[in-house]
A and B are shown apart, each in its own frame.
Chain A
Amino acid sequence: MAVRVAEEWLTICGGCEVSILDIGEPLIDVLALLEFVHMPVLMDHKYYGQTGEGTVLEIPEADVGMISGGVRNEKEKHVTEAMRAQCETLIALGSCACFGGIPAMANMYSLDDLYSKVYRESPTTEPAEVPSGTVPSLLDRVYAIDEVVPVDLYIPGCPMNPGMIAEALTSLIDETPFELAERSVCDECPVKRERKSGEPIERPLQDAQFDLDGPLENMRCLMEQGILCLGPVTRAGCARTREAGAPKVPRCIQGYMPCRGCFGPIRMDANPLVDMMGALSSNGLDVRQVLDRRATFNRYIGARNRLRPLPSRPAR
């Protein structure tokens, strides 16, 4: 019997939904084993009946519920609770659902700060009061899904790795366990490490040194080149094969650019800020040279109070 699936998206960009499509042609075979009962991005099931006459937000019962995006307003909280109530297994899809994601960088500011920026400080906007009488039911900050309801399975990534989604869906269909590896991006990174750097940390304002014609094994670790890379404190999983048979390589490294932590910490409860200080000093680098540390090390994981408003002071 087909596995019934419901999918919702909350404070999102849509990248996780596109990365599901990036499973490519194998997706067609996976889809044959699934029955989608609710998925606003692709199908027309409505909350209040198809002609909107219902009075209660209705999500059909499903074996598997998938939610992308964090929770920012009352409506999203309500949808999250309805999904939990109707779905046997609930999956947090992507780093926003798992940790708040990029939108949780807004947790560094109060709502008043956000309103001021949009309605009073924007150069092209006619200065106006914050619209009154239509104040949205915002929550005080961005929440990860499991701060609102219990979550059974986490698939992190900004966006997720299509291979990992396919693996998770297949495990659910076959009723076999799906677990994330407690490994770092560095564990999957092929670049060579020579010795401690001792170089000052530089901003990535010029090219890393690499050998375009040779394998990535010829490139020296970006951190050793003095380029801040969050690989040591970021969970492995982004690495993909560029062609059949080739080794997997972390995605940003394929672009000769450093990791910024989009798969979240190696363990759910780890603190990348603290761990990164260790990683930097073991490379002989000084963490104080890193600009904008708090926002950089917590870029994708600002929910769970990892990013909070601070008394005003310079940004770094």
Chain B
Amino acid sequence: MAKTITIAPVTRIEGHAKVTINLDDAGNVADTYVNVVELRGFEKFCVGRPVEELPRIVTSICGVCPWSHHLASAKANDAIFGVEPPPTGRKLRELCNAVAFTEEHILHFFFLAGPDYVMGPDADYSIRNVLGILQADRELGRRVVRARHLGSRMLGILSGKSIHPVTAVPGGFSKPLAERDRDRLASMAQEVLDFAKFAIGYAKEEIFPNYAEEIRDLGTIETGFLGTVAEDGSLDLYDGRLRLMKPDGTAEDFAYDQYDDVIVEHVEPWSYLKFPYIRAWGEFSMDIDRPVGIYRTNTLARLNVADRISTPLAQAELEAYRKAFGRPVQQTLRYNHARLIELLYNAELAVQLLEDPAITGRDTRVPVTPRAARGVGCVEAPRGTLIHDYQTDDEGMVTDVNLIVGTTHNNAPINMSVNQAAKRLISAGVYDETILNKIEMAIRAYDPCLSCATHNLDGTIALTVKIVARDGGTIANLSNVGPLRERNEEEARPR
């Protein structure tokens, strides 16, 4: 008896999505659909604005990674105006980026994905959350709440406004760092670093070993990877060259302003959300056994493409990780492990930058003059490579905007991982709340930010994996007009 299972809403992710799983007559998974519900209109309404205002408008694409959009926009502005920030201005931007990463990675691991591991994927839903962690282990809960908040407080000291910041400006940074503030920040950064060391040790000893099978298998697929590296091939989250790695581990680098030669966004007639893929790899396919053109971004990808990490503790963790899991790592749930290595890197980097005498320099910004130009800004956002591409007229008013955000790169992989997980876990029509939660764990590993991914339009979006049925016929494509459930149930009928 064919049946439709709906997980709505997908919870403990940033933004809106549903999962629809259609079972065939035998109760096995016929197809799966991740419906991303929510889109906005930034690429349209940024046009016509003075370009220097964009760093404070695009932040609202995402309140979780506003610094990533803020910095990508500021870098696009630098390119538009044809300037390079003074060294101190650049270091202040990098410092804010590192601090923001610590805050976001703590948020994801402990508040969003972590409860599945700390409380267990089969714990009752009412306690499988950060509030449950607070009840079960108040000391751990308090420590986590404090560590995440430290990052936010540091950003408040550095810039005034920690969420939707305003201080990265064309040509640099508007607020130099006073020595007295540097001293306060240094002790806070040390506390964050202590927490980062604790977090990765805790996860490696008390969390990951308990879920070895899930981590190896759940949502695991084979793809290429994209991320940013510095000139020497080390991990860099603020600036560098893009490195594209094939599933076999071979890689090539390219300048980020050439992204449009490499990446194409595919449109399916059944989905409003685009599917970026690599032009040179062939015709786009999300078939989980024979994917074509598919690559992933975010922590797993960055640690795969980087040759090394510039800070000692994170480098040691990377070496152990590579020794255990190889390169490239394809296990989807390893995103969480990679995330904690990045947490450690960013905490170390923040301490280093605050020890750099140049961080309190007074020359943080060069003045700029409007002109007609195109400017591409690119950073690694917590969720992947973030590209802002602007054009202006001769008065510096924006005439065109193109944005590709971290989570969008991962659209196809997320769908493929959900499909893989559903097929592994559901057979003969048997499933329960724990199984459905495990399917969501495959989504959570990507730390998807659907607020970011849905910057471009607004509506109810069908993001779909198309699977060929067992008899070889294509299952009809779903449409989510009107109430999704009614439509899905209709489509799920035996034919």
How far is it, in angstroms, between the C-alpha of A106 and the C-alpha of B459 when the chains are bound? 13
Q: Is A148 an interface residue (CB 8 A)?
A: no
Q: Is A176 an interface residue (CB 8 A)?
A: no
Q: Mark A47-60, 1 if CB is under 8 A from B, else 0.
A: 11011100100000
- The answer to whether A46 and B274 have CB atoms under 8 Å apart is no
Knowing A51-B5, A118-B456, A205-B369, say if A113 contacts B44 (CB, 8 Å).
yes
Q: Is B120 an interface residue (CB 8 A)?
A: no
Q: For A254, what are the chain B residues with a Cβ–Cβ distance below 8 Å?
A: 156, 159-161, 175
- The answer to whether A25 and B107 have CB atoms under 8 Å apart is no
- The answer to whether B45 and A105 have CB atoms under 8 Å apart is yes
Q: For B259, what are the chain A residues with a Cβ–Cβ distance below 8 Å?
A: 124
- The answer to whether B134 and A28 have CB atoms under 8 Å apart is yes
Q: For B263, what are the chain A residues with a Cβ–Cβ distance below 8 Å?
A: 124
Q: Mark B254-284, 1 if CB is under 8 A from A, else 0.
A: 0000011001111111111010100000000
Chain B residue with minimal CB distance to A241?
Answer: B156
Cβ of B143 to closest chain A Cβ, rounded Å = 10
Q: For B433, what are the chain A residues with a Cβ–Cβ distance below 8 Å?
A: 50-51
Q: Is A252 an interface residue (CB 8 A)?
A: yes
Chain B residue with minimal CB distance to A302?
Answer: B45
Knowing A47-B8, A73-B459, A242-B156, say if A25 contacts B45 (CB, 8 Å).
no
How far is it, in angstroms, between the C-alpha of A297 and the C-alpha of B247 when the chains are bound? 50
**B-side interface residues, number (CB < 8 Å):** 115
Chain A residue with minimal CB distance to B141?
Answer: A28
Q: For A255, what are the chain B residues with a Cβ–Cβ distance below 8 Å?
A: 159-161, 165-167, 174-175
- The answer to whether B125 and A50 have CB atoms under 8 Å apart is yes
Cβ of A104 to closest chain B Cβ, rounded Å = 9
How far is it, in angstroms, between the C-alpha of A262 and the C-alpha of B59 when the chains are bound? 12
Cβ of B96 to closest chain A Cβ, rounded Å = 11
- The answer to whether A292 and B48 have CB atoms under 8 Å apart is yes
Of B5, B131, B175, the contact of A42 (CB 8 Å cutoff): B131
Of B38, B50, B63, the contact of A292 (CB 8 Å cutoff): B50
- The answer to whether A24 and B145 have CB atoms under 8 Å apart is yes
Chain A residue with minimal CB distance to B489?
Answer: A55
Chain B residue with minimal CB distance to A72?
Answer: B458
Chain B residue with minimal CB distance to A113?
Answer: B44
Q: For A14, what are the chain B residues with a Cβ–Cβ distance below 8 Å?
A: 14-15, 62-64, 449, 451
Among A123, A212, A213, the one with the most B-chain Cβ atoms within 10 Å of its Cβ is A212
Q: For A296, what are the chain B residues with a Cβ–Cβ distance below 8 Å?
A: 53
- The answer to whether A124 and B404 have CB atoms under 8 Å apart is yes
Q: For B373, what are the chain A residues with a Cβ–Cβ distance below 8 Å?
A: none
Give the residues from 234 to 264 in chain A that come closer than 8 angstroms, CB to CB, to chain B.
Answer: 240, 242-243, 249, 251-257, 260, 262
- The answer to whether A109 and B45 have CB atoms under 8 Å apart is yes
Q: Mark A1-41, 1 if CB is under 8 A from B, else 0.
A: 00000000111111111110110110110010000100011
Q: Mark A131-154, 1 if CB is under 8 A from B, else 0.
A: 111111110001000000000000
How far is it, in angstroms, between the C-alpha of A316 and the C-alpha of B50 when the chains are bound? 10
* Binding site secondary structure of chain A: loop
Q: Is B493 an interface residue (CB 8 A)?
A: no
How far is it, in angstroms, between the C-alpha of A25 and the C-alpha of B148 when the chains are bound? 10
- The answer to whether B12 and A44 have CB atoms under 8 Å apart is yes
Q: For B153, what are the chain A residues with a Cβ–Cβ distance below 8 Å?
A: 24
Cβ of A40 to closest chain B Cβ, rounded Å = 5
- The answer to whether B167 and A18 have CB atoms under 8 Å apart is no
Cβ of B415 to closest chain A Cβ, rounded Å = 15
- The answer to whether A115 and B457 have CB atoms under 8 Å apart is yes
- The answer to whether A256 and B52 have CB atoms under 8 Å apart is no
Cβ of A79 to closest chain B Cβ, rounded Å = 9
How far is it, in angstroms, between the C-alpha of A65 and the C-alpha of B432 when the chains are bound? 29
Chain A residue with minimal CB distance to B150?
Answer: A24
A-B contact count (CB 8 A): 320
Of A15, A136, A208, the contact of B66 (CB 8 Å cutoff): A15
Knowing A22-B149, A251-B160, say if A117 contacts B63 (CB, 8 Å).
no
Q: Is B306 an interface residue (CB 8 A)?
A: no
- The answer to whether A124 and B142 have CB atoms under 8 Å apart is no
Q: Is B385 an interface residue (CB 8 A)?
A: no
Cβ of B89 to closest chain A Cβ, rounded Å = 11
Q: Is A174 an interface residue (CB 8 A)?
A: no
Cβ of B450 to closest chain A Cβ, rounded Å = 9
Q: For A257, what are the chain B residues with a Cβ–Cβ distance below 8 Å?
A: 56, 160, 166-167, 169, 174-175
Q: Is B494 an interface residue (CB 8 A)?
A: no
Of B43, B161, B267, the contact of A252 (CB 8 Å cutoff): B161
Q: For A15, what are the chain B residues with a Cβ–Cβ distance below 8 Å?
A: 60, 62-64, 66, 163-164
Chain B residue with minimal CB distance to A69?
Answer: B38
- The answer to whether A126 and B264 have CB atoms under 8 Å apart is yes
Chain B residue with minimal CB distance to A240?
Answer: B156
Cβ of B16 to closest chain A Cβ, rounded Å = 8
Give the residues from 7 to 60 in chain B that come closer than 8 angstroms, CB to CB, to chain A.
Answer: 7-9, 11-12, 14-16, 37-41, 43-45, 47-50, 52-53, 56-57, 60
- The answer to whether A124 and B41 have CB atoms under 8 Å apart is no
How far is it, in angstroms, between the C-alpha of A51 and the C-alpha of B164 when the chains are bound? 37
Q: Mark B399-421, 1 if CB is under 8 A from A, else 0.
A: 01010100000000000000000
How far is it, in angstroms, between the C-alpha of A304 and the C-alpha of B359 when the chains are bound? 45
Q: For A133, what are the chain B residues with a Cβ–Cβ distance below 8 Å?
A: 269-270, 479, 481
Cβ of B28 to closest chain A Cβ, rounded Å = 17
- The answer to whether A22 and B130 have CB atoms under 8 Å apart is no
Q: Is A274 an interface residue (CB 8 A)?
A: no
Q: For B169, what are the chain A residues with a Cβ–Cβ distance below 8 Å?
A: 204, 257
Cross-chain pairs A/B with CB under 8 angstroms, 26 sampled: A9-B16, A12-B451, A14-B451, A17-B63, A21-B107, A21-B149, A27-B145, A52-B5, A73-B458, A74-B460, A75-B460, A103-B40, A109-B41, A124-B265, A125-B264, A128-B269, A133-B270, A135-B481, A136-B272, A136-B459, A138-B458, A205-B52, A205-B367, A252-B166, A262-B164, A316-B48
Interface residues of B (CB under 8 A from A): 5-9, 11-12, 14-16, 37-41, 43-45, 47-50, 52-53, 56-57, 60-64, 66, 107, 111-112, 125-126, 128-131, 134, 138, 141-142, 145-146, 148-149, 152-153, 156-157, 159-167, 169-171, 174-176, 178, 184, 259-260, 263-272, 274, 276, 362, 365, 367-370, 389, 396-397, 400, 402, 404, 431-433, 436-437, 449, 451, 456-462, 479-482, 485
The 7 closest A-B pairs by CB, nearest first: A15-B63, A136-B459, A254-B160, A315-B48, A106-B41, A255-B160, A206-B367
Q: With A31-B131, A51-B431 given, name 20 new contacts (CB 8 A).
A: A14-B64, A18-B63, A18-B163, A22-B149, A24-B153, A25-B145, A40-B12, A42-B111, A43-B125, A73-B38, A105-B41, A114-B41, A125-B264, A125-B274, A126-B265, A126-B266, A203-B52, A204-B169, A257-B166, A260-B166
